[in-house]
Amino acid sequence: MAAAPSSLPAVTGASGAGPSALSRALLHRLRSEVLGSVGPQDLVGSTWRVLVLDATTTPVLSACMKMADLVDLGFSLVEDLNKGREPMPTMPVTYFIEPSVNSVNRLIADWPHGEARYREARVYFSRAVPPQLLDAIKRCQPLISRLTALAEANVEFIASDPRAFTVPVPRAMLRLYGEASIAGGSRDADAACEEIGARLATVFATLGEAPRVRYRRVASVDAEDVPGGARRADTTRRVAEAAARALAATGASMGSASGP
């Protein structure tokens, strides 16, 4: 069994009296749309469920919930998607994972033909799912035959402080400002901007906000500028536009504008 998310306390407000507005919104979304989405009629014959997380969603959940909270919601096991797990054919499972190629492939691998690892499955993704990954899921008939829910939770940030949050993007600084970002066509830097923007969009979706983002206009390139400086200075615009696209995919809209 994976380490249960019980080591971190829930985020509290500045006075310590209670959770911040962001953590309250995060908890509400997790409890109502993901973890607490199963009604009593769905638990007939099994009062316990399995929760499967991946490397992205584990810290999201650990920052705002304890294992005791999950037990209250009917989860007896919290497991890692990327590690070997014993089949539990009599228990329902809830997956809360990111819509990456690796996580979707691991999800599909849980459901080979002729064998059911769990009694039934509910799958919740932490952000919008690319169409090609949805198509891959549709082709997995053993999973489809036992799938009772498939949804996008739009929760992919860590409420790490009453007045702050972080988005888990591995190696973001290196990808955006490292030597590889000097090249005008750096795919890794562009991908990092898209990842940050997509995860920022989940913050806005959780808060029910569609803000207008302003960013500094990139100055004209000077011959004495550091190589790649203009592209690096343009990071804010690229992240803002990526967030606007991601938020639009959730049904909301966000404006962006440059400033002096």
Residue 157 maps to a domain = no
pLDDT of residue 222: 59
Q: pLDDT tens for residues 28-49?
A: 889 888 988 655 445 445 579 9
pTM confidence score: 0.78
Cβ neighbours, 10 Å, residue 15: 7
Residues 192 and 128 in one domain: no
pLDDT of residue 100: 94
pLDDT of residue 124: 96
Number of domains in the chain: 2
Dihedral in degrees, nearest 10, Cα atoms 16, 18, 22, 24: 160
Residue 7 maps to a domain = no
Contact, 93 vs 107, CB < 8 A? no
Residues 146 and 202 in one domain: no
How far apart CA 147 and CA 93 sit, in angstroms, is 10
Segments forming the whole domain that contains residue 189: 169-259
- Based on its alpha-carbon atoms, the radius of gyration of the chain, rounded to whole angstroms, reads 20
Instruction: Using the Cα atoms of residue 39, residue 40, residue 41 and residue 43 in order, give the sign of their dihedral.
Output: positive
In order along the chain (260 residues), what is the average pLDDT of each group of 10 residues?
35 44 85 74 65 94 89 93 92 95 96 88 93 96 94 88 81 78 69 89 85 70 59 80 83 53
